[in-house]
Amino acid sequence: MGVLAVARRNPSVAAALSVVPGLGQVYNLQLRKATFFFLATLLTLGPSILLIMYGERFGHDLLERKDFAPFLLVAFGSIIAFLVLFLLGLTFWASAIVDARRSARELAEGRPGTQRWWLLKL
């Protein structure tokens, strides 16, 4: 692919494709960044959702056994872990959108897409 093929990137399309994290970077032909954003989002949002699903079942079992102190500790720890993972996942996702749009804008202006990582610059 030549420079002309890369230079015709539409920032709006790149941002819209980032509804799936990393797809905007694939559109911009930045495959390493695409892999990073996809895996980072998946590996933070996925466990946060699994934590809520399985934590509810575990907490229910503790309540049935009347283990209130362990229940409170597990519930508090689960809430903190969920919030950290979920907010980090949303940050990766938002960073993927911002990065795809800015990189596409640079490519459309004829500049090479930079290899910066927007998460670290937000």
Task: Give dist(CA 5, CA 2) in Å, integer.
Answer: 5
pLDDT for 30-77, tens place per residue? 999 999 999 999 999 999 999 888 887 888 888 889 888 888 888 888
- Are the beta carbons of 24 and 11 closer than 8 angstroms? no
Domain ranges of the chain: 3-112
Q: Tell me if 91 sits within 8 A of 21, measured CB to CB.
A: no
* Structure tokens belonging to residue 72: 């409170």
Contact at 8 Å (CB) between 103 and 117?
A: no
**pTM (2 d.p.):** 0.78
Kindly state the DSSP code that residue 114 receives in the 8-state scheme: P
For the four alpha carbons of 92, 98, 102 and 103, in that order, the dihedral sign comes to positive
